[in-house]
Structure 1
């Protein structure tokens, strides 16, 4: 397995540059990595000590952010290096204010790994949720650099738990400690001999709680809402449109705010042709048009989390595709949440579905029934919203658990 991995990652390093000619996303993926070492060598100050955080994409960045903020507040003498794997995360957060250096993670070849660690020389490393790069992990272990997994999630079908997954199990030995989201993850780790774990929950709960605390009012959304029942459709895909558009186009006395996942102009234009209601776009709206509009199309990024504060009902996209988006953001405002059926990989969705405050729809007919009941029965809607908010509050403080552990052990690592 190890030989096949090394062969595969080296072939990827050779072939990926070709893919940049066929995909704009792969172009960002490849071209961004070409700059990683140049940025490191220019920005890393050898006289400073660095803590390295690695995230896959935007969702994991949001998970890691509370820990990064807590670490920087507690230990301001250390610099933070943040690496991303995916362009969808890096391109949105490359100008973040928390990290001192932000780059794409160089591919996990042995040569890249040694060069990267030689330059950075991190004093401590945090991987968020589920990024496991064997060559990085092996070399971190070789150099005795303390390494943690935060908000880890493990599933039985992962290679670690297969009879032929010894190479990947060995990589897990690099972690000094696992902070995992649930009992299932801890039991899976224990089943392969790892007892160095704590069920601390998910740091995203801390992040979404912060969002509420720091939220600023959006007067233009208040103007659009105009005391009318408002459904916010967040991070939707084409698959979601097929479900909600028939309801939207035939609704009365309801307003909709749509924040599509893909905000490329051709996608926005395509969506506009399918909406039969009076619609205004965020990028060119006039204040006087908002009160009389039925649909507000958010063709920008960065404000959806605040918009959820104005939702009477939230529909979160991705549940008809392969990746449900963040349902905790609307839930933290005490809003009932509606999703599609593909949510089994998301612990928070499973928990809220079990509570009955996150409602699953499989088609337009079910969506219509669900929306209509929530609109007609205010007590029912409020009950679901209160359950969601209570769930968020109950699951806060994962960051505190991580920081308390680090504070107890930090002297041992001689940062």
Structure 2
């Protein structure tokens, strides 16, 4: 009860105040705020239109588009087992809401504001059989209300880093109350399991299983759609380094060294994909390279191999997973700020994968480093040295390429295990 009071009377009002200030300055925060105002009404309309159908409802939640990639193979498999059920998806971020498009979802909403009365009202409208969270985006009142209403709640692909703030005493006690309110938690690895037990203690534990990360399955499924045409060995592809999901912080650390690679490595070219491909971000990259007399061009809707330019800039989202198959090495952004993006997609495309130091929340990045297919760099100079070395030594390059792909293949099958547990737990 103590932590419920602290959260609802202090933490949540403070967060809400930050959001109210944020909507003045950020179009994304504003879009999320306005979307959340409509969530209850959307749910009410959906249930009213479905009131003649006696169907179970499964409510999935993802923070954003990346977490939905974890949900997708699980939702798809569960739909095969439960074809007569409804599937609701809530997302937190505008990018998730705008870009998640899936015919298997019967109703899509922004996650309602986490006020207890709002959440409880939404749960009473929907009466879901299960609420299923992916990854890390857990909201206390949603979990507490589900437990109070005897609604089964599950967290899968749960990741608990040793460096997480959840290890601090007060933070740990707060999260102990939250995680012990779940019906079941499915972690990714043994290490995650050990960290989870440190948080939740030995009493009142939910069902806990180690079931892996279904994002590996989703990455493999996506790659299968176009790999039949990709029989060419990675060593025979164009000598191309792809910078995927680049943040401004990545640019600040790496741009000068990237320019050095273009000048030092013969026949090298880049694909450059900003995380936010806004006009402002694209023009900033163009101006930087053009100031050094490097020819740039925008990809638009063209085949990357038909676009002329030393640096090809990706000006829309949704293309990276296929573009990795037209490169030899990848750098994935986010590692100098909020955390790295999807490193599995370049790995399945047989690319050695580089990223910044903020990767501790991502088991797949640790696996890549451990197996020799991934490399964390602290600076642009370090990236320059290591990338140049791979391009100049084909045997080391091929070993890294093989190791990266093997990490994905060694971790397949999580979706099936999670679906089986969702049905039986």
Q: Verify same fold: TM over 0.5.
A: yes
Deviation at 1:161, TM superposition (A): 6.5
Matched, 1:277 2:300: no
Matched, 1:322 2:324: no
CA contact (8 A) 1:218 1:307 kept: no
Deviations 1:166-193 (A, max 9, x none): 4532222332211101212212333412
Which residue of the other structure, out of 217, 221, 224, is the alignment partner of 1:210? 221
CA contact (8 A) 2:272 2:313 kept: yes
- Partners of 2:84 and 2:39 in 1: how far apart? 24
Map of 2:44 onto structure 1: 41
CA contact (8 A) 2:131 2:151 kept: yes
Which residue of the other structure, out of 67, 74, 81, is the alignment partner of 1:60? 67
Deviation at 1:395, TM superposition (A): 0.7
CA contact (8 A) 1:189 1:195 kept: no
Superposition RMSD on alpha carbons, in Å?
A: 2.6
Which 10-residue stretch deviates more, 70-79 or 171-180?
A: 171-180
Which residue of the other structure, out of 254, 259, 262, is the alignment partner of 2:273? 259
Deviation at 1:314, TM superposition (A): 0.8
Map of 2:119 onto structure 1: 113
- Partners of 1:338 and 1:165 in 2: how far apart? 32
List runs of 5+ in structure 2 lacking aligned partners: none
CA contact (8 A) 2:237 2:328 kept: no
Map of 1:406 onto structure 2: 422
Deviation at 1:217, TM superposition (A): 8.3
CA contact (8 A) 2:153 2:182 kept: yes
Which 10-residue stretch deviates more, 385-394 or 42-51?
A: 42-51
In the comparison of the two structures, how many residue pairs are matched? Answer: 403
Map of 1:393 onto structure 2: 409
Deviation at 1:385, TM superposition (A): 1.0
Map of 1:332 onto structure 2: 348
- Partners of 1:264 and 1:342 in 2: how far apart? 24
Map of 2:367 onto structure 1: 351
- Partners of 2:139 and 2:157 in 1: how far apart? 17
Distance 1:393 1:249, change over 3 A: closer
- Partners of 2:305 and 2:144 in 1: how far apart? 59
Distance 1:294 1:319, change over 3 A: same
SS in 2 for 1:21: helix
Deviation at 1:4, TM superposition (A): 2.1
Deviation at 1:159, TM superposition (A): 4.1
Map of 2:96 onto structure 1: 89
CA contact (8 A) 2:262 2:268 kept: no
Deviations 1:80-139 (A, max 9, x none): 00001122322221x332311111011111111111101111011111112222211111
CA contact (8 A) 1:280 1:290 kept: no
Which residue of the other structure, out of 3, 6, 10, is the alignment partner of 1:4? 6
SS in 1 for 2:25: coil
Which 10-residue stretch deviates more, 10-19 or 52-61?
A: 10-19
Distance 1:13 1:288, change over 3 A: closer
SS in 2 for 1:283: coil
Deviation at 1:148, TM superposition (A): 0.9
SS in 2 for 1:97: coil
- Partners of 1:212 and 1:177 in 2: how far apart? 31
